[in-house]
Amino acid sequence: MSIIDKDSLLQETNLNADALARLQEIGWVDLVIGIPSHRNGRTIGEVVKALADGIAMYFPNERVLLMNADGGSSDNTVRHILDAKVSSKVEKLVTVYEGTRGKGTGIRSIFEAALRLDARACVIAEARAPGITPEWLPALVNPVLHGHDVSMGCYQRSANAAALTDNLVYPFLGTFLRADLREPLAGEFCVSGDLATELVAQDVWETDVARFGINIWLAIQVLVEHRRIALVDLGYRGENGGELGTLVDARFLHTVGTLFRALVIHRRWWQENTPPVHVPLYGERHPAVGMVCSDECVRILADAMFNARDEYITEWQRILFPQTYEMILDLLKQPRDGFSLSAELWARIVSEFAIVYNKGEGDPDKVAEALLPLYYGRAAHYVQSTQNLAPLERETVVQDILRAFQNTKPFFIERWNDYDSSIDVSEYWF
């Protein structure tokens, strides 16, 4: 990207005047290591310590910016980087970003810092990353320093922690983008300085990408742009944050919305049957630890679906095709502790929701919201059926889910083409 282009980009900033002055004072760095945050005082300390130790152990001779882009926390979140013990080669920046409040805006602020400092690479770590170690840092940075555009973490996780990836995001991308990116929602990743600059320039930062849609959007971008991707095994990562089974989950809604929109934005990929994209995994798979989910987890997920019936039954009937809707009604007549929401039925549900999300009348966000309790039902089935399997053993189940989605694709294409194409939902996109 030219200097003129960079100068133009820098006019649209999420950084306040103090942050801009601090970056100008720093001048340049080799690496930017950033943590977007909002009220993460209880968890960010572990992340900061691991990253600071990783810098000292593996990048002692590099100029590094350790940055916290915060959403206006009222707790002690921002103190952790300020208090971190680092060498004289490590600069610090703690700032409250400006603009839309959300994880994506925080990450854009960190990308912008990398742009302004001409960094060679930019690492993003979540403020809650249970299991993080100093070794995560070189695992992510080194592939980018050696020529990859982006490296993304791949983890050993419980079935519950991996449920959204395994049951929706991975098979969806595998079917419609024909990509085997195994961890498309990686919370920890590294991009080159050039890619950070290009991502800052994208016209998406007023959408769900500025919130929790950032991770799946990044994955889609690097796939459709044929970026050189390194998927690296980081080992164990703990459970997800948030309240299990809640019917208002912004992470799910923003992820699904961004994923479903990609069907229109990148329709050439699935309509023209483009060549498959293989993303290799670097490093040996780590041994599994702490992978057991409790029966209580399954019960909470199942209850979330069954208890949502009265609130969402009308919406389900509006969205789903009659045969699929009848199958949902039959499902809800089954015992809560032994019901079966098969991969085949789940793939059909997702396909029909994706069609109505893009081509139906009304608010697409309501469509994504109505899918959430059904997702909980599928997650409950998945967790219960894989309880005694290690992560690598679960791969057989995940590949079965992928095949179920792929088998549904001809049905999806037929229904997509038959649907009323005169409806314009673009007003809901941006």
CATH number at residue 169: 3.90.550.10
Judged against a pLDDT cut of 50, whether residue 201 lies above it is answered with yes
Question: H helices of 201-342, where?
Answer: 214-224, 250-265, 267-271, 295-306, 309-319, 322-331
pLDDT at residue 420, as a whole number:
52
Reduced to 3 states, what is the DSSP secondary structure of residue 213?
A: coil
Handedness of CA 144, 148, 151, 156 (dihedral sign): negative
Residues 275 and 331 in one domain: no
The pLDDT of residue 238 is 86
Stronger pLDDT, 243 or 322, i.e. the higher one: 322
Verify that 316 and 343 share a domain, yes or no. Answer: yes
Q: Does a structural domain hold residue 265?
A: yes
Residues 114 and 69 in one domain: yes
Q: Does residue 219 form part of some domain?
A: yes
Task: Kindly state whether residues 300 and 400 are assigned to the same domain.
Answer: yes
Sign of CA dihedral 269, 395, 341, 213: negative
Read off the pLDDT of each residue in 73-79 and give the average, rounded to a whole number. Answer: 94
Looking at residue 421, its pLDDT comes to 47
Express as a percent the part of the chain with pLDDT over 90: 83
Please indicate, yes or no, whether residues 349 and 274 belong to a single structural domain of this protein: no
The pair phi, psi for residue 41, each rounded to 5°, is -60, -30
Q: In which element (H, E) is residue 113 found? A: helix 103-116
CA distances from 72 to 78, 101, 284, 335 (A): 9, 9, 39, 45
C-alpha to C-alpha distances, 238 to 156, 190, 221, 282, nearest whole angstrom:
9, 20, 27, 21
Residues 190 and 244 in one domain: yes
Please, what's the largest Cα pairwise distance for the chain?
66
Dihedral angle computed from the Cα positions of residues 195, 201, 202 and 203, in that order, rounded to the nearest 10 degrees: 170
In a domain, 425, yes or no: no
pLDDT of residue 427: 40
* SS3 call for 47: helix
How far is the C-alpha of 333 from the C-alpha of 375, rounded, in Å? 17
**pLDDT per residue over 248-272, tens digit each?**
899 999 999 999 999 999 998 898 8
pLDDT per residue as tens digits for the range 99-131: 999 999 999 999 999 999 999 999 999 999 999
Question: Binning pLDDT at 50, 70 and 90, where does residue 15 land?
Answer: very high
Domain-terminating residue out of 282, 309, 334: 282
Mean pLDDT of all residues belonging to the chain: 92
Task: Please tell me whether residues 118 and 62 are part of one structural domain.
Answer: yes
One domain for residues 170 and 312: no
State yes or no: pLDDT of 211 exceeds 50.
Answer: yes
Q: Are residue 19 and residue 86 in the same domain, yes or no?
A: yes
Claim to verify: residue 372 and residue 396 sit in the same structural domain: yes
Under 8 Å between Cβ of 368 and 428: no
Mean pLDDT of 144-149: 97
- Summarised one tens digit per residue, pLDDT across range 271-327 is 887 889 999 898 776 665 545 566 899 999 999 999 999 999 999 999 999 999 999
> Percentage of the chain with pLDDT > 70?
93
Number of domains forming the structure of the chain: 2
What angle in degrees, to the nearest 10, is found between the helix axes of 364-385 and 295-306?
A: 150
Residue 385 lies in domain: 295-419
Tens-digit pLDDT profile for residues 311-366: 999 999 999 999 999 999 999 999 998 899 999 999 999 999 999 999 988 899 99
The whole-number average pLDDT for the span 172-189 is 97
Residue 388 pLDDT level (bands cut at 50, 70, 90) = confident
Point out the domain boundary residue: 232, 248, 282.
282
In a domain, residue 339? The reply is yes
Beta strand pairing status for 121-124 and 189-192? antiparallel
* Highest mean pLDDT out of 95-99, 358-362, 418-422: 95-99
Residues 25 and 161 in one domain: yes
Could you tell me the pTM of the whole model?
0.93
Considering the domain boundaries, does residue 287 fall inside one?
no
In a domain, 189, yes or no: yes
CA dist., res. 428 & res. 430, Å (int)? 6
Q: What is the pLDDT of residue 221?
A: 97
Q: What are phi and psi of 275, to 5 degrees?
A: -60, 150
Q: Within this chain, do residues 237 and 304 fall inside the same structural domain, yes or no?
A: no
Cα dihedral: 168, 170, 172, 175 (round 10):
-150
* Domain end position, chosen among 282, 305, 340: 282
- The answer to whether residue 289 is domain-embedded is no
pLDDT band at 424 (very low <50, low <70, confident <90, very high): very low
Does residue 424 lie in a domain region? Answer: no
Residue type at position 332: L
